[in-house]
Chain A
Amino acid sequence: MKAFTQTRVWYPFIGPFDPCPPIRVKTYSTPPQLFLGFQPPQLPQNSLPEALRQGTLWPALYSPYEPQP
Chain B
Amino acid sequence: MWVYEKKLQYPVRVSKCDPRMAKYLIEQYGGADGELAAALRYLNQRYTIPDKVIGLLTDIGTEEFAHLEMIATMVYKLTKDATVEQLKEAGLGDHYANHDRALFYNNAAGVPWTAAYIQAKGDPIADLYEDIAAEEKARATYQWLIDMTDDVDLQDSLKFLREREVVHSQRFREAVEILKMERDRKQIF
Contacts and interface: CB of A to CB of B under 8 A. Distances in A.
B139 A29 contact: yes
A33 B160 CA distance: 16
A37 B173 CA distance: 8
B153 to A, nearest CB: 13
Contacts of A65: 142-143, 146, 159, 162
Contacts of A64: 159
Interface in B146-160: 146-147, 149-150, 155, 159-160
A54 B166 CA distance: 11
Interface residues of A, number: 20
Contacts, number: 56
A56 B159 CA distance: 11
A39 B139 CA distance: 20
A64 to B, nearest CB: 8
A63 interface: yes
A61 B166 contact: yes
Contact of A54 (B146, B147, B163, B173): B163
Q: Which of B155, B161, B162, B164 has the most CB of A within 10 A?
A: B162
A32 B171 CA distance: 12
A42 interface: no
A48 to B, nearest CB: 13
Given A29-B143, A52-B10, A63 B162 contact: yes
A64 B155 CA distance: 12
Contacts of B146: 65, 67
Interface string A30-50: 011100111100000000000
B169 interface: yes
A38 B174 contact: yes
Given A38-B177, A52-B10, A65-B146, A33 B170 contact: yes
A65 B167 CA distance: 14
B78 to A, nearest CB: 18
Given A55-B10, A56-B163, A56-B167, 15 more contacts: A29-B139, A29-B140, A31-B166, A32-B170, A36-B170, A37-B173, A38-B174, A39-B170, A52-B10, A55-B160, A55-B162, A58-B167, A61-B170, A65-B162, A67-B149
The 6 closest A-B pairs by CB, nearest first: A55-B163, A33-B170, A55-B160, A33-B169, A63-B166, A31-B166
